[in-house]
Amino acid sequence: MTWLFDSHIHLSDPVYQEDLSHTIKAMESMKIKACCVSMDYSNSKKTLEIAKQSELILPFIGIHPECANNDLDQMMNLIQDNIDIISGVGEIGLDPTYVQSDEDKKNQTHVFESLLSIAEKYEKPVSIHSRKSLDDVFEIMTSYKTKNALLHWFDGSKKQLTKAMDMDFFVSYGPVMVYANDKQTLLTKTNEEKILVETDGPVRFSRCFEMKSAQIGFIPSVIFCSSKILNKQYDEMAVILERNSKKFLGI
């Protein structure tokens, strides 16, 4: 039996709390496992809590670049204390959108590097946010031997994709790829062993998704679309993605 994987979703977001048991049931019946990423310390604690409800929820904890002013020491301790429970570290990364001063930039970089160090130390995979910061992420990552790294919601140029492949990153594509030609082109140029799929829920998607908040049930659509673009059968695509997801997670 093939398991589907959502490689990046915020199931610990308040949006999902009311219907979480329903989401878990859907995951069971649709055979979907989810890398549940976190935003900050309190959200990471929430992720650990909901992961107890189902083994299909694979907890990733960390500090998102938007929350770089979060208490880093507290976060490092939380990771250390739960190192045998967590599946990975994330969501971590860089994003100039949330930077207002040199001080902010320094702090965001420091948080990212510290979390990369701990992931490297314990050989945990990392889920990386690289919006408008891919080249800086590449630069920093040359100094780390993290076990496996995912550039989630890959949104770079073809040249940056080549660089990502050279550096052995995984890259993930989500609901945008269903309707955006540039993402479809990037997919065709991605090493087949490095492709993952995600929803990044609760992000809202336009066009055919009608601004609905992403649900775990969007994953089969993303897989179906990938299979069409790559001229494969759906089942064949699902098998490739399962293999890649397991490799990313080290399971």
Q: Which residues of 25-55 are buried (b: 16+ CB within 10 A; e: fewer)?
A: eebeeeebbbbbbbbbbebbebbbebbeebe
Cβ count within 10 A of residue 135? 13
Minimum CB–partner distance for residue 48 and Zn ion (Å): 17
Nearer residue to Zn ion within complex by CB, 65 or 227:
65
Nearest-10 Cα torsion for 11, 117, 130, 8: -20
DSSP 8-class letter at 3: P
Minimum CB–partner distance for residue 24 and Zn ion (Å): 20
Minimum CB–partner distance for residue 127 and Zn ion (Å): 8
Nearer residue to Zn ion within complex by CB, 155 or 200:
200
Is the dihedral angle over the CA atoms 88, 143, 112, 118 positive or is it negative? positive
CA–CA gap between residue 18 and residue 22 (Å, rounded): 9
Binding site for Zn ion (CB under 5 A): 91, 200
Minimum CB–partner distance for residue 234 and Zn ion (Å): 26
Nearer residue to Zn ion within complex by CB, 212 or 232:
212
Nearer residue to Zn ion within complex by CB, 119 or 240:
119
Distance of CA 120 to the CA centre of its chain: 17
- The answer to whether residues 21 and 47 touch, using CB atoms and an 8 Å cutoff, is no
Nearer residue to Zn ion within complex by CB, 126 or 240:
126
- The answer to whether residues 33 and 56 touch, using CB atoms and an 8 Å cutoff, is yes
* Closest of 164, 165, 159, 158 to residue 183, by C-alpha: 158
Nearer residue to Zn ion within complex by CB, 75 or 240:
75
Minimum CB–partner distance for residue 248 and Zn ion (Å): 16
Minimum CB–partner distance for residue 145 and Zn ion (Å): 24
